[in-house]
């Protein structure tokens, strides 16, 4: 490795396949293809930042053009080609940043340049970084040359956005997906670099760097470089200093905050958050750590203390495991959804600190809400105890209740209501009149008469106009579906019947075609009367005397 650069990310940049960490399978595959002389026309490397895409491209260029022809790049006493490629000044190895040269004209110049063979090396190699930034026309101009290039020409592409590259280009390349470097490998690598630099850093601090680097070697080296430079000579870089320098906070504070949220202790919850905020922690970093901890609370039973990607130490792991035993999974999932929503909306509020405090308060009240499944189960048990009165009515009510409760649950994400308000919504309305008459309602007509007697004009109107009766028997009313029927009709009628008769009634909608409504029956009856009247001899004689006469209405002798 070259050691002429002060920045660790460049100073310890791998110069051969043996120096790579975390990409052993890819390195072995490429070496085998070179040894067997089966080098593809184009390589395509994709992965997150800092895992070795451009580094591998340069190693391939050195391996293909090494003057010693050993199938590996020079490591000591570099040949002219390897030395020039390492210093990025080889005439036959062109590195291009597609972010700054995106147009079709840039690609045309590249293709024109490719017509000439290599000057001093075996292959002419084009390394295009961030290739997804090329325009659509530039990609199209590259296709033909990419598929059938001259034998001396090789392309190496690197990108972090593979989905933005046309499939026609991807299919012409040998694609390699570079994975994030595993935490243990990255930790051991940083430990070796620390020793080479004669730096002092605790294992906890290095593990913390590994965690926030998210598998990127370059990020990890940059953070380590910053950490070692921040220390006075001879001083050790520990976890507390790492958290302060990199803008993070002690995870134990967040675990304690969770504990107070689940206990409903608003005062202590805000006290801990304010202490975290005073350390200069950005709200978005806080929310992302909050989400990560939610994941551990939900899945702690399936994790081991050494499998949490250096995120948790043994003490934190055991604390989470102990607290999670008394937490319902449904609550954790609601917390997750609510936190994601807050993360999306936090930029809308000018004072993000106030928004975060209100977020925590709302979580406390969200935790205090009754569990949806338990409420449904409790109401079902109540309904089962009343089977003798109305089994089917109980089932119908439970279904309606479950729907209402789910509606409440969905609305909770938008606005967390007071716990006592929610309890009122979930209570089953039992309207009991102190002076019941225990009316006997045996027919549909009886029901209409009672509505008229009780002055329930709206119910009477719905029964006469919009109800198509299918059956009426033994405290059970079945009606067919009517689009004009009021949405609250069944609920209102059921409540009134219980109030009037002191018995529960089953009112259900049927797919069967019901009888005509009372209004329709009256209309049909009147039409029949009109037809019969028109056939009467008296009516015919009237028309003979008065041709313009028109029948308007018919009344029986008994009508006043």
Q: What is the pLDDT of residues 44-88, one digit of tens each?
A: 999 999 999 999 999 999 999 888 877 778 877 788 888 888 888
pLDDT band at 131 (very low <50, low <70, confident <90, very high): very high
Answer whether 200's CB lies under 8 Å from 234's CB.
yes
Answer whether 185's CB lies under 8 Å from 22's CB.
yes
Residue 544, C-beta contacts closer than 8 angstroms, at least 6 positions apart: none
Answer whether 514's CB lies under 8 Å from 481's CB.
no
> In the predicted model, is pLDDT for residue 219 greater than 80?
yes
Element (H, E) at 294: helix 283-299
> In whole angstroms, what is the distance from residue 234 CA to residue 354 CA?
42
Q: Hey, where are the domains in the chain?
A: 8-177, 183-245, 251-368, 372-426, 444-510, 517-560
* Mean pLDDT, residues 526-544: 75
Q: What is the pLDDT of residue 525?
A: 76
If one compares 390 and 474, the residue with the highest pLDDT of the two is: 474
pLDDT digits (tens, 9 = 90+) for 284-328: 888 888 888 888 888 887 776 554 555 666 777 788 888 888 788
Q: What is the pLDDT of residue 395?
A: 46
Mean pLDDT value across the chain: 79
> In the predicted model, is pLDDT for residue 524 greater than 80?
no
Answer whether 123's CB lies under 8 Å from 64's CB.
yes
Domain 251-368, CATH class in plain words:
mainly alpha
Q: How far is CA 416 from the centre of its chain?
A: 20
CATH architecture label of 8-177: 3-Layer(aba) Sandwich (3.40)
Q: What is the pLDDT of residue 170?
A: 93
Tokens 């470089």 appear where?
Answer: 225
pLDDT digits (tens, 9 = 90+) for 148-205: 888 899 999 999 999 999 999 999 999 999 998 988 899 999 999 999 888 888 888 8
pLDDT band at 526 (very low <50, low <70, confident <90, very high): confident
pLDDT digits (tens, 9 = 90+) for 446-463: 888 888 888 888 888 888
User: Which CATH number describes the domain made up of 444-510?
Assistant: 3.30.300
CATH topology for 183-245?
Answer: Helicase, Ruva Protein; domain 3 (1.10.8)
Answer yes or no: same fold for 251-368 and 444-510: no
pLDDT digits (tens, 9 = 90+) for 325-380: 878 888 888 889 889 988 888 888 888 888 889 999 988 887 655 554 444 455 45
Answer whether 210's CB lies under 8 Å from 21's CB.
no
Q: How far is CA 528 from the centre of its chain?
A: 64
Structural tokens at position 450: 């009672």
- The torsion of the CA quartet 97, 98, 99, 105, rounded to 10 degrees, works out to 120
Residue 425, C-beta contacts closer than 8 angstroms, at least 6 positions apart: 404, 408
Q: Which residues of 444-456 are buried (b: 16+ CB within 10 A; e: fewer)?
A: beebbebbeeeeb
Answer whether 172's CB lies under 8 Å from 67's CB.
no
Residue 72: name the closest of 80, 86, 82 by CA: 82
pLDDT digits (tens, 9 = 90+) for 250-277: 777 888 888 889 888 889 999 989 888 8
């Amino acid at each position: 490795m070259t050691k002429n650069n002060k920045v660790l990310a460049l100073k310890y940049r791998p110069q051969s396949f043996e120096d790579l960490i975390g990409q052993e399978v890819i390195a072995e595959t490429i070496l085998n293809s070179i040894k067997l002389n089966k080098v593809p026309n184009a390589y395509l490397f994709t992965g997150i930042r800092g895992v070795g895409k451009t580094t591998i491209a340069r190693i391939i260029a050195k391996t293909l053009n090494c003057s010693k022809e050993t199938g590996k790049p020079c490591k000591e006493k570099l040949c002219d080609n390897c030395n020039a490629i390492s210093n990025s000044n080889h005439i036959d190895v062109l590195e291009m940043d597609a972010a700054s040269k995106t147009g079709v004209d840039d690609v045309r110049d590249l293709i024109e340049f490719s017509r000439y063979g290599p000057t001093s090396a075996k292959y002419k190699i084009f390394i295009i970084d961030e290739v997804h930034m090329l325009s659509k026309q530039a990609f199209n101009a590259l296709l033909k040359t990419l598929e059938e290039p001259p034998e001396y020409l090789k392309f190496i592409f690197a990108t972090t956005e593979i989905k933005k590259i046309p499939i026609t280009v991807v299919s012409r390349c040998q694609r390699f997906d570079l994975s994030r470097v595993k935490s243990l490998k990255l930790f051991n690598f940083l430990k070796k670099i620390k020793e080479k630099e004669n730096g002092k850093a605790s294992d906890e601090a290095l593990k913390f760097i590994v965690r926030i680097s998210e598998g990127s070697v370059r990020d990890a080296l940059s953070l380590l470089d910053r950490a070692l430079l921040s220390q006075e000579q001879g001083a050790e870089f520990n976890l507390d200093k790492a958290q302060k320098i990199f803008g993070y906070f002690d995870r134990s504070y967040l675990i304690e905050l969770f504990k107070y949220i689940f206990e409903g202790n608003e005062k202590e919850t805000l006290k801990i958050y304010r202490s975290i905020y005073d350390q200069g922690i950005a709200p978005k970093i806080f929310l992302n750590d909050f989400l990560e901890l939610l994941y551990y609370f939900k899945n702690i039973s399936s994790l081991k203390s050494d499998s949490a990607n250096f995120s948790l130490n043994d003490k934190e792991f055991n604390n989470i495991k102990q607290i999670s035993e008394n937490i319902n999974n449904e609550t954790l999932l609601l917390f997750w959804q609510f936190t994601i929503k807050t993360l999306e909306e936090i930029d809308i509020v000018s004072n993000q600190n106030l928004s975060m405090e209100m977020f925590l308060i709302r979580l406390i009240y969200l935790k205090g809400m009754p569990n949806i499944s338990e409420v449904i189960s409790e109401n079902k048990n109540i309904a089962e105890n009343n089977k003798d009165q109305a089994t089917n009515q109980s089932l119908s009510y439970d279904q309606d209740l479950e729907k209402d409760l789910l509606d409440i649950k969905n609305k909770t994400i938008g606005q967390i209501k007071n716990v006592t308000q929610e309890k009122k919504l979930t209570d089953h309305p039992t309207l009991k009149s102190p002076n019941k008459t225990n009316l006997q309602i045996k027919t549909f007509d009886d029901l209409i008469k009672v509505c008229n007697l009780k002055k329930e004009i709206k119910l009477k109107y719905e029964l006469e106009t919009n109800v198509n009766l299918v059956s009426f028997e033994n405290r059970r009313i079945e009606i067919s579906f009517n689009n004009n029927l009021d949405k609250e009709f069944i609920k209102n009628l059921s409540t009134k019947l219980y109030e009037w008769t002191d018995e529960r009634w089953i009112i259900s909608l049927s797919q069967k075609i019901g009888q005509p409504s009372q209004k329709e029956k009256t209309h049909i009856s009147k039409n029949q009367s009109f037809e019969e009247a028109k056939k009467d001899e008296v009516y015919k004689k009237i028309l003979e005397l008065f041709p313009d006469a028109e029948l308007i209405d018919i009344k029986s002798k008994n009508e006043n």
